[in-house]
């Protein structure tokens, strides 16, 4: 990791805090699933924290992101609150989407998060359209489209990258390459080079270590600034790793990846451990101070989980609300 | 009143709404200088420029997805889908994304976009350029669906669609683009969910959509010559559907035929007939009947194609049988 810049202590600590918040959120979400307190299932972002945080720390509140089925990390990184997030995961009225979206559709438009998406690659058009709005209305907002390596197999990506490049749209395509396309190794589903696919459209493409939050943030800062002044679009391939299976129930995964591989990533390349060591080594924070941050976040998460577990479900009369904007009850 | 073509009516509606609202833009294939293969959009790029009349690559899912994101972030896209048959290409973006945005976000986000496309066979365009697929989108909660039956409806419904905060799909009959109808010079809008009683009658109700309204009117002329009084109703939008007007007519005439150019099975005719059978049962002398397009892919040969869609003669014949009681067992 690169040396610290003197003036950035607060930024560094916020990045640390946000990464720990994501990990803590996911640990709690996983426990809710394992203890059968959460309806449905979910996809864990653990291990990929430096990607969402490194990028979202380069964005303003009005900049937009689109997210994926593995979307809790993006949601937290863009500024969401634990309480509304856990309420949404549990299908409660106070959730970000009043319990109608759940884990795979969580959205937080107040912070520019246009939503997770349960169709792999399904939000690439939406992200490109958000960038189109910025250009048409002159808002100067930048949009980041998060997607996984698996989504690079979807045709939509090439259609919208073509248009984004033709029209110089302020969008950054952020490919989180965690090595696995659901239950299949990425090298079995992706021919050639992922970066070259973007470059074929004349889009400037970069590969970065997605476990190094400073490297991710440094690149994101530069590309976001350039996109804002009309120099986009850009493509980033972030090399990362998901600690859990494709979803929380994907426990027995020896058939597609080894325990030794998982252990290596967790012990030797963990983005939070690496960044924490760096913060201490650079004298930005003491180990004790960082441990206190962790404890504070654990307590915040525990409170939010308790709150969500006790929060009420939406009234059944809400089932036909929000089908149309101008009809209170669609089936009335 | 002046008469203009359906094509001109669409063009006027777009120009008026684009002047009114700078967040609107048209996006699709060959919409700018070409003005689409049907020349409907001629002149718009000259007035509004290429930033608001946006030619795209041939990439329907891509520009549809882009429109959804643009709509979610403060603009009002008007998507031009060159042929209704291409709707299969954009189904994920239309039905999984746009239709569900408002609901999935608990009412916090919306996708106010218009998808303009077309329907209609007998243009000798064969199976992939002739389908009437509006039932597919009417099936998906969250989408409104309008079916203009003349230049007047085409203008009034499109203006309403552009101002609507929900995703709206408008299907224009591609054989009607050059058909003229009286259209007022002054501004007007046609609200959604209000059926139009085109002709009063007492013996049988003919409910027709899009160009099938004309088929029903011609059938009503044939029947009138025989002393049968047919009421003709155009629902104008199928989502929302003006059920009250349709049921009132069914209760009055006691006999109903629903005519639509989509395939008959699992279609618009089935839905409307079923609602009438369920809700006006005791007023009916016979079950409400369906007349849709044949359940076959649209054939190319004129000898085959012409027999796949409802005709005035066919509708009149069914009405006669309905009057004589022959159709009671047929249902």
- pLDDT tens figures, B265-275: 999 999 999 99
pLDDT at A214 over 90: yes
B52 close contact with A: CB closer than 8 A:
yes
Q: Do B104 and A107 touch (CB under 8 A)?
A: yes
The predicted pLDDT at position A1 comes to: 75
Looking at every residue in chain B, the average pLDDT score rounds to 97
Contacts of B106 (CB under 8 A, 6+ apart): A95, A96, A97, A98, A99, A100, A101, A322
Least confident of B124-133, B182-191, B322-331: B322-331
**Is the residue at A320 inside a domain?**
no
Residue A21 binned pLDDT confidence (cut-offs 50, 70, 90): very high
Average the pLDDT over A22-51 and give the result: 96
Token pair of A209 as six digits: 């270590």
> What whole-number distance in Å separates Cα of residue B206 and Cα of residue B210?
13
C-alpha separations of B85 from B7, B118, B121, B179, B267 in Å: 19, 8, 11, 22, 16
**Is the residue at A194 inside a domain?**
yes
Instruction: Give residue for tokens 């009286």.
Output: B182
Nearest-CA distance from A39 to chain B in Å? 16
Q: How many CB atoms lie within 10 A of CB A281?
A: 11
Chain A residues close to B70, C-beta within 8 Å: 129-130, 132-133, 136
Give residue A194's domain range.
8-241+260-311
**Is the residue at A184 inside a domain?**
yes
Q: Is the peptide bond before A280 cis (omega within 30 degrees of 0)?
A: no
Which residue of chain A comes nearest to B144, CA vs CA? A324
**Percent of chain A's residues with pLDDT above 90:** 96
**Is the residue at A252 inside a domain?**
no
pLDDT at A224 over 50: yes
Nearest-CA distance from A61 to chain B in Å? 14
User: How many interface pairs between A and B have CB atoms less than 8 angstroms apart?
Assistant: 156
- Give the B window 174-233 contacts with A, CB below 8 Å: none
CATH class of B3-182: alpha beta
The predicted pLDDT at position A2 comes to: 76
- Give the B window 100-119 contacts with A, CB below 8 Å: 101-110, 112
**pTM of the predicted protein model:** 0.96
**Is the residue at A253 inside a domain?**
no
| ipTM of the complex model | 0.96
The predicted pLDDT at position B299 comes to: 97
Instruction: Give the total number of structural domains in chain A.
Output: 1
> What whole-number distance in Å separates Cα of residue A204 and Cα of residue B262?
47
Residue A6 binned pLDDT confidence (cut-offs 50, 70, 90): low
Nearest-CA distance from A165 to chain B in Å? 12
pLDDT at A4 over 90: no
Q: Do B108 and A132 touch (CB under 8 A)?
A: no
Residue A8 binned pLDDT confidence (cut-offs 50, 70, 90): confident
Average the pLDDT over A191-199 and give the result: 97
pLDDT at A292 over 80: yes
**CA geometry: angle at B190 spanning B187 and B193, to 5°?**
165
Residue B331 binned pLDDT confidence (cut-offs 50, 70, 90): very low
pLDDT at A277 over 50: yes
**Is the residue at A325 inside a domain?**
no
Strand duo B256-263 + B289-293: pairing: parallel
Residue B330 binned pLDDT confidence (cut-offs 50, 70, 90): low
Average the pLDDT over A257-285 and give the result: 97
Catalytic residue check, B129: yes
For residue A198, what is the domain's CATH number? 3.40.50.970
The predicted pLDDT at position B313 comes to: 98
Average the pLDDT over A243-265 and give the result: 94
Chain B residues close to A119, C-beta within 8 Å: 92, 96-97
> In this predicted model, what pLDDT tens digit does every residue of A104-136 receive, in sequence order?
999 999 999 999 999 999 999 999 999 999 999
Classify residue A325 as left (phi > 0), alpha (psi -120 to 50) or beta: alpha
Average the pLDDT over B166-189 and give the result: 98
Q: Do A129 and B67 touch (CB under 8 A)?
A: yes
**Is the residue at A113 inside a domain?**
yes
Q: For CATH 3.40.50.970, list the domain ranges present in chain B.
A: 3-182
Q: Which residues pair with B290 in a beta bridge?
A: B258
> In this predicted model, what pLDDT tens digit does every residue of A142-188 receive, in sequence order?
999 999 999 999 999 999 999 999 999 999 999 999 999 999 999 99
Backbone angles phi, psi at A112, to 5 degrees: 80, 10
> In this predicted model, what pLDDT tens digit does every residue of B77-92 receive, in sequence order?
999 999 999 999 999 9
Instruction: Give residue for tokens 């945005």.
Output: B101
The predicted pLDDT at position B85 comes to: 98
Q: For CATH 3.40.50.920, list the domain ranges present in chain B.
A: 196-324
**Is the residue at A321 inside a domain?**
no
The predicted pLDDT at position A140 comes to: 96
Q: 3-class DSSP state for residue A69?
A: coil
Residue A195 binned pLDDT confidence (cut-offs 50, 70, 90): very high
Residue B20 binned pLDDT confidence (cut-offs 50, 70, 90): very high
**What CATH architecture applies to the domain B196-324?**
3-Layer(aba) Sandwich (3.40)
Backbone angles phi, psi at A166, to 5 degrees: -60, -40
The predicted pLDDT at position A235 comes to: 98
> In this predicted model, what pLDDT tens digit does every residue of B193-244 receive, in sequence order?
999 999 999 999 999 999 999 999 999 999 999 999 999 999 999 999 999 9
The predicted pLDDT at position B127 comes to: 95
pLDDT at B26 over 80: yes
Catalytic residue check, B3: no
pLDDT at B283 over 70: yes
Token pair of A58 as six digits: 């380069």
Looking at every residue in chain A, the average pLDDT score rounds to 96
> What whole-number distance in Å separates Cα of residue A237 and Cα of residue A214?
15
Q: Do A134 and B67 touch (CB under 8 A)?
A: no
Chain B residues close to A100, C-beta within 8 Å: 103-106
Backbone angles phi, psi at A40, to 5 degrees: 70, -150
> In this predicted model, what pLDDT tens digit does every residue of B311-321 receive, in sequence order?
999 999 999 99
Chain B residues close to A126, C-beta within 8 Å: 65, 68-69, 72, 97
Average the pLDDT over B85-110 and give the result: 98
Backbone angles phi, psi at A18, to 5 degrees: -65, -40
Q: Report chain B's C-alpha Rg in angstroms.
A: 20
């Amino acid at each position: 990791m690169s040396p610290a810049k003197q003036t950035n202590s607060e930024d560094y600590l916020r990045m640390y805090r946000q990464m720990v918040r994501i990990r803590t959120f996911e640990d709690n979400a996983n426990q809710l699933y394992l203890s059968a307190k959460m309806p449905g299932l979910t996809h864990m972002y653990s291990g990929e924290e430096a990607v969402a945080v490194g990028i979202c720390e380069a964005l303003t509140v009005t900049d937009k992101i689109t997210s994926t089925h593995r979307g809790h990390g993006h949601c937290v990184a863009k500024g969401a609150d634990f309480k509304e997030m856990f309420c949404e995961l549990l299908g409660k009225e106070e959730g970000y989407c009043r319990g109608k979206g759940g884990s795979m559709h969580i959205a937080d438009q107040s912070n520019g998060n246009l939503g997770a998406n349960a169709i792999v690659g399904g939000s690439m058009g939406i992200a490109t359209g958000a960038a189109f709005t910025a250009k048409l209305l002159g808002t100067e907002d930048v949009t980041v489209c998060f997607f996984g390596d698996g989504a690079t197999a979807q045709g939509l990506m090439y259609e919208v990258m073509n248009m984004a490049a033709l029209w110089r749209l302020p969008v950054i395509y952020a490919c989180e390459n965690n090595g696995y396309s659901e239950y299949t190794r990425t090298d079995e589903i992706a021919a050639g080079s992922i970066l070259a696919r973007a470059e074929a459209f004349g889009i400037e493409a970069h590969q970065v270590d997605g476990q190094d939050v400073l490297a991710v943030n440094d690149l994101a800062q530069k590309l976001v600034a350039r996109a804002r002044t009309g120099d986009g679009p850009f493509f980033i391939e972030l090399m990362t790793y998901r600690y859990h299976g494709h979803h929380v129930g994907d426990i027995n995964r020896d058939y597609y990846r080894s325990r030794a591989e998982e252990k290596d990533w967790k012990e030797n390349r963990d983005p939070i451990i690496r960044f924490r060591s760096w913060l201490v080594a650079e004298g930005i924070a003491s180990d004790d101070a960082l441990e206190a941050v962790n404890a504070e976040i654990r307590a915040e998460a525990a409170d939010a989980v308790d709150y969500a577990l006790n929060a009420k479900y939406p009234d059944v009369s809400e089932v036909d609300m929000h089908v149309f904007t101008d009809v209170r009850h669609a089936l009335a | 009143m002046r008469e203009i073509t359906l094509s001109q009516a669409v063009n006027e509606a777009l120009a008026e709404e684009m002047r009114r609202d700078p967040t609107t833009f048209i996006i699709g294939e060959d919409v700018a200088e070409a003005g689409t293969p049907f020349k409907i959009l001629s002149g718009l790029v000259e007035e509004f420029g290429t930033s608001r009349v946006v030619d795209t690559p041939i990439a329907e899912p891509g520009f549809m997805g882009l429109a959804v994101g643009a709509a979610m972030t403060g603009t009002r896209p008007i998507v031009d889908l060159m042929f209704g048959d291409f709707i299969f290409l954009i189904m994920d973006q239309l039905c999984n994304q746009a239709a569900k945005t408002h609901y999935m976000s608990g009412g916090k986000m919306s996708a106010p976009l218009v998808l303009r496309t077309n329907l209609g066979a007998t243009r000798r365009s064969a199976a992939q350029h002739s389908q009437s697929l509006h039932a597919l989108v009417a099936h998906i909660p969250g989408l409104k669906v309008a079916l203009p039956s003349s230049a007047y409806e085409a203008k009034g419904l499109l203006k309403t669609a552009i101002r609507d905060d929900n995703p709206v799909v408008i299907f224009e009959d591609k054989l009607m683009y050059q058909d003229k109808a009286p259209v007022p010079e002054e501004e007007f809008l046609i609200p959604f969910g209000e059926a139009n009683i085109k002709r009063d009658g007492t013996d049988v109700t003919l409910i027709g959509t899009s160009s099938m309204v004309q088929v029903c009117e011609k059938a009503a002329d044939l029947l009138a010559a025989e002393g049968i009084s047919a009421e003709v109703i155009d629902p104008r939008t199928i989502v929302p559907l003006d059920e009250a007007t349709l049921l009132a007519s069914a209760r009055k005439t006691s006999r109903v035929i629903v005519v639509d150019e989509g395939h008959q099975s699992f279609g618009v005719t089935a839905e409307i007939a079923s609602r009438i059978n369920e809700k006006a049962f005791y007023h009916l002398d016979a079950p409400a009947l369906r007349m849709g397009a044949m359940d076959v892919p649209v054939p190319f040969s004129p000898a085959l194609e012409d027999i796949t869609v409802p005709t005035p003669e066919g509708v009149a014949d069914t009405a006669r049988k309905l009057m004589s009681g022959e159709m009671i067992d047929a249902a």
